[in-house]
Structure 1
Amino acid sequence: CSAREDGSEPPVACEIATEVAPMGFSRVAALHLFPLLVRITLCAVFVPAGWSKIMNRAEFSGPAAATIRTLTGASTADAKPVVLGQELSPPSDAARAESEAPLEARRLYGLAVLLHDHELPYPVVQAWLAAITELVGGGLLLIGFFSRIWAVGLSVAMGFAFALTTLPILETVSPLDLDVPTFTKAAAQVALFTLSLGIVLTGPGGLSIDHAVFGAAARPASEEEDPGPHDPEDDEV
């Protein structure tokens, strides 16, 4: 933005751009610091969550225990001989109580039960994928490696979590009438979904392995050094 050939002042937009340009810290914070803080936050939340689902065990009982036994093929006792005339009869109260007896399993099977109750396919496989995405994806987001791919998985996981656990409640209760634990869970799901989606849309920032490895190749040509306007007089010999 320089003075025009006729000596008039440059446009107002040029003056505004000149005033804004020196604000280097805001640009650095937006491009580097804030994405780093987002990645640290996502790592701090998802890594413990994924670790807990895979490595920690919990006790399940009642219908949840029966569902886990059905999904995993576990049995509480050896097979018993079938009495003629009873093979088509409904399970007795004793058999039902036996199938609902408490059992200990990985925490991720609680998610598998939730997916099974909503009639989603392959609930155990999906539960494992969600837990691995949280654990591995959250860790790799910290260093910014394949960030967009892992952020897609985490945003999908949070979207499903909101749709399966919070949305049914909001269909019957106003958000203003939610109890504190439910509201906190809903707010956390929305916040984590938004942060993950932000990484998908804008990238992991400059302080990441993705930027160091793929940044130069992905940089648009407009960001390369501008040789300046072409002067026809330079072509004259």
Structure 2
Amino acid sequence: MDMKFSSRTLPFLTEAGQQTDPNWLEQNQATYEAHVRGPFIDLAERLKAALQPSVPDYHFPIKGIGRIKRATHHVVSGGPCFKDWLSISISKPSYSRFERNPHLFFGILPNIPQYMGVVVAGGLFMPSGPQLRKVRSAIAQDARLFHALFDDPTFKARFKTNFSREEVASRPPRGFDPDHPDMDWLRLKKFLVVKKLTNAEFTSRDLVPAVVEDFKQLVRLNRFLENALT
């Protein structure tokens, strides 16, 4: 039976992030399993089943996801014993300790200031210096593929905006024409498309098929970014 998130999911995570008693989760195990861990694992397994055939080069993490208890060495004395968030990141495996590939992201982030809720995202997060320059160069040389994607009705039906402007350089990057028509993109420090879900969307039984359709569109973006990086 498919599980779903509920109106208790976000408050539970917020409460968990305030706990300094390591026994708290054991005392609230039933609620955790029913409203947090169970639906999260169900989401991850169904995403893998629906998407992996079309992106066989992507890794879909399943083992260990949904855990909120912090490792002992990550707990600051007197600090919270549990995370107040959960996320899953799906991408091609990286062969570098210092670089990550464009990814598909689902995050339950009730206490992250810029989100304060649930987000679906894709693209390149925290690129290395060389990766940043490669994507900027690809955009500077020919951004028509990105424009076509963001103007495509199928993509726009899932995502109303193009690249997120979470982090932007204060001036044009060195080596690029400051009058380039896509300078707004060239100044970006990460290349993400982000959508925040409403509470109704998050708690709907249609959440997983909706995220599957979102991810199918974000894979298109990731492929352009992957090509730029290679």
TM-score (norm 2): 0.23
Identify the structure with the greater helix proportion. Answer: 1
Whose Rg is larger? 1
Normalised TM-score (structure 1): 0.22
